[in-house]
Structure 1
C-alpha cells in the first residue's frame, strides 16, 4: 500500500473510532468463544505484557484471540506467526492487484486457500465503524499502517490494545516488528523461529548467487509530480531486502534530499546520475515509458546493457519487498532473484 492510501484511511479511521465505543457496545454478532479462538492462545506467554510505541506504551492484559491488522504487512506478520487475522484491510488498489480478493500471492497458502473477511477501508468513517464493531477485535496490529497518528491512536487505544511502530510505519526492520507483535500475542519464541527461518532462506539465496555480491544498485520508486522518488537508504523496505541479498546501494542515492517518507527526491534532468550495476524500477504495470523518454536515462550503462529489473505493482512484487515480512520475503526472493541474476549477467556481458 502506498502512503497516500494509508493517510486517507487514517483520517477516516480517526473519525470512525470516535464512535466505535458506542457502536460496539450495541453489537451482538452471536460469535462463540470457539469462533474467536486463534493459534495465538495456543502458546500464550505471561500477562500482562507491555510493548513500546511512538504514541504510547500498550499493555495487553490477557492473551488476545482476535487480532485485526491495519495494513497488509501487519496481516503478513500475523500469518507468519501462525495467527489468522479476523480480517484483512483492503482498498481498490489492493483488490486490483490481487484479482479482487485482497489476498497477496504469498498469503494464499497461509490462509489455507480460504478467502478471509475484509475490512474495506474506502467506504467512509461510518462504515469502518460498523465493520470494526462486527469484527470485534481484541487487539489492533499497526506496525505498517501509515495512517496511524496520535489522534487515531488515542481513539483506538480507548477500545483496544494497539501494537504499533516506535518511529514510523514500516520504518523499522521487519524482525523488530515481528518480535513486538509476537510479544503482544504471548508467543515470543515463535518470532525467533520464523525470523531465523526467513534469514536462513535469504542467506541461502545469497550463497547460491555469488555473482550478485557487492554489485551496486539504485531503485526508482515512481514519479511524484514531475520528480522521481528513489530509494535513499538501505535500512528499510526494498533496501533492506536487496542488501540482504548482497547488493549495495549506490553512494549517490544516499546524498539526495528526502521527503517526509524518507524517499530520495530526484529531478528528471538528473536521472543520468543514477548510475549503478543494476537499476530497479517500481511502476504500476511495468511500463517504463515515463523514463525512456529521457536521454539521461537511456544513456545509463545499466539501461544500455539491459541490467534493469522492473517491479510492477500489479504483480505484488513491490509490496512483498517494500513492506517485508518473514512471509513475503520467501516468495519475493523466488520471484526476484532470477531477475537480478539475469540483470547482473547482462551488465557483465555489456
Structure 2
C-alpha cells in the first residue's frame, strides 16, 4: 500500500509539471554560468555525489539502467554510449518524428535497438507506473522542464535523480554531459565525446569560411501577435551559430532578454531584423507567417535569398536548441551547409 501511495504522489507531481522541452524554445538561463556540477568521486569510483538545484544526488554503485526524462537527456546518454531504458516523448515530439519519437541523430546511434517510449503526456498513473515498471537505477533529468522540488523529492525517495544546477536545459551541454558521465562512473567518456564534438564544429567552421563574422538574426516563432527572436547568443541555437563564426546582430543585442535568451518585437518592427542572413524556426519549412508581411519581403536578406528555414518537423531546431554531442554532429552535417549558402549570398 505504501508503494502505491508513493507512486501516486510521484504521478501527481509529474502530471502537474510534465511539460517536456518544447521545440519552440531554444535557450537557457542567464544564471547558469559554466558550472559543471560537483562530483565527489572520479575515474569510475563509487559512491559519487553530483550537485543539483533541488539537492545533491549520491550514486552508491555503477548504474546499469538509466532512464532519461527529456529527449536531450536521452541524447546525452546515447553520446556516452549508454542506451536509455526508454525514450521520453510528448505530443510535439511524436508529431515531429512521424510518431516514432526518435530523432534522426538518435536513429543513427540506436540502429535497430530502439527502446520503448515513455509518453510524458500519458497522465499521472501511466507515467508513474511506467517509471516503476522500467526499474531504473538512475534517473537523468538535466533537460526536463517539469522537474520541480516536489517532483524531485518524490522521485529521489526511490531513485538517484541527476539534474540541473540552475534550470532545465539551462547549462552548457558540455557541463551536463560531464555531470551525467560522472554519475555513471565514466567521466573520461565525457571528455572524449566533448572533444570530438568540438573538433567537428571547428572543422565545419574551417570548411565554411563565409560564416566567419557574418551577422544573423534568428526568428524563433510567433508569440501571440509578436515575434520571438534570439536576443542572447550564449545559449541554445546561439551557441551553435556562434561556434561556426556567426555573430548575432547589434539590434538583437539591444532587446530585453527573457530567461530563455529570447526577446520579442512587434510585426511593425520587422524592418529592424535585417542581417547578413536570417534563420527562421518554422513549423514545416513554410514561412507564410512572415511572408504575408511586406516589410519582411523587403528585407535585403530576404530579397537576396539569405534565409535558412529550420523546420520543426525535421528536428533541426531541436538538434541545435537542445544540444548534445550527438545532435551537434548531425547538425553540423545538415545545417552548416545551409547557413554557408545563405551567408555567401551576402558577399
TM-score relative to the length of structure 2: 0.87
**Quick check: 1:44–1:185 contact (8 Å CA) kept in 2?**
no
- The Cα of 1:16 is off from its aligned counterpart by 5.9
CA distance in 2, matches of 1:274, 1:61: 52
**Quick check: 1:53–1:166 contact (8 Å CA) kept in 2?**
yes
- The Cα of 1:15 is off from its aligned counterpart by 4.8
Classify 1:222/1:16 alpha carbon distance in 2 versus 1 (closer, same or farther; 3 Å): closer
**Quick check: 2:63–2:184 contact (8 Å CA) kept in 1?**
yes
CA distance in 2, matches of 1:319, 1:13: 28
Matched, 1:164 2:185: no
Mapping for residues 26-45 of structure 1, pairs under 5 Å: 45=44
Give the gaps of 5 or more residues in structure 1: 1-10, 18-42
Classify 1:12/1:303 alpha carbon distance in 2 versus 1 (closer, same or farther; 3 Å): farther
**Quick check: 2:213–2:246 contact (8 Å CA) kept in 1?**
yes
Classify 1:79/1:205 alpha carbon distance in 2 versus 1 (closer, same or farther; 3 Å): same
Determine which structure has greater relative contact order: mean sequence separation of CA pairs < 8 Å that are 6+ residues apart, divided by chain length. 2
CA distance in 2, matches of 1:329, 1:254: 25
- The Cα of 1:262 is off from its aligned counterpart by 3.2
| CA-to-aligned-CA distance 1:117-150 (integer Å, 9 cap, x gap) | 1111111001101111111111111111111112
Counterpart in the other structure of 2:240? 241
Classify 1:177/1:13 alpha carbon distance in 2 versus 1 (closer, same or farther; 3 Å): farther
Classify 1:124/1:244 alpha carbon distance in 2 versus 1 (closer, same or farther; 3 Å): same
**Quick check: 1:234–1:249 contact (8 Å CA) kept in 2?**
yes
- The Cα of 1:92 is off from its aligned counterpart by 2.0
Counterpart in the other structure of 1:112? 111
Matched, 1:254 2:253: yes
Comparing 322-331 and 56-65, the one that deviates more: 56-65
Q: Find the residue that maps to 2:346 and give its secondary structure.
A: helix
**Quick check: 2:143–2:168 contact (8 Å CA) kept in 1?**
yes
- The Cα of 1:260 is off from its aligned counterpart by 4.2
- The Cα of 1:13 is off from its aligned counterpart by 5.9
Q: Find the residue that maps to 1:219 and give its secondary structure.
A: strand
Counterpart in the other structure of 1:64? 63
Counterpart in the other structure of 1:225? 224
- The Cα of 1:12 is off from its aligned counterpart by 6.0
**Quick check: 2:83–2:110 contact (8 Å CA) kept in 1?**
yes
| CA-to-aligned-CA distance 1:239-280 (integer Å, 9 cap, x gap) | 000100110111221221233433211111112111211100
- The Cα of 1:96 is off from its aligned counterpart by 1.8
Counterpart in the other structure of 1:295? 294
**Quick check: 1:142–1:164 contact (8 Å CA) kept in 2?**
yes
Q: Find the residue that maps to 2:335 and give its secondary structure.
A: helix
Counterpart in the other structure of 2:326? 327
Mapping for residues 273-288 of structure 1, pairs under 5 Å: 273-288=272-287
Counterpart in the other structure of 2:185? 186
CA distance in 1, matches of 2:250, 2:52: 32
**Quick check: 1:306–1:347 contact (8 Å CA) kept in 2?**
no
Counterpart in the other structure of 2:86? 87
- The Cα of 1:94 is off from its aligned counterpart by 1.2
- The Cα of 1:347 is off from its aligned counterpart by 2.1
Classify 1:126/1:343 alpha carbon distance in 2 versus 1 (closer, same or farther; 3 Å): same
- The Cα of 1:89 is off from its aligned counterpart by 0.5
How many residue pairs align between the two structures? Answer: 313
CA distance in 1, matches of 2:229, 2:128: 36
Q: Find the residue that maps to 2:271 and give its secondary structure.
A: helix
CA distance in 1, matches of 2:296, 2:15: 45
Counterpart in the other structure of 2:203? 204
CA distance in 2, matches of 1:276, 1:147: 36
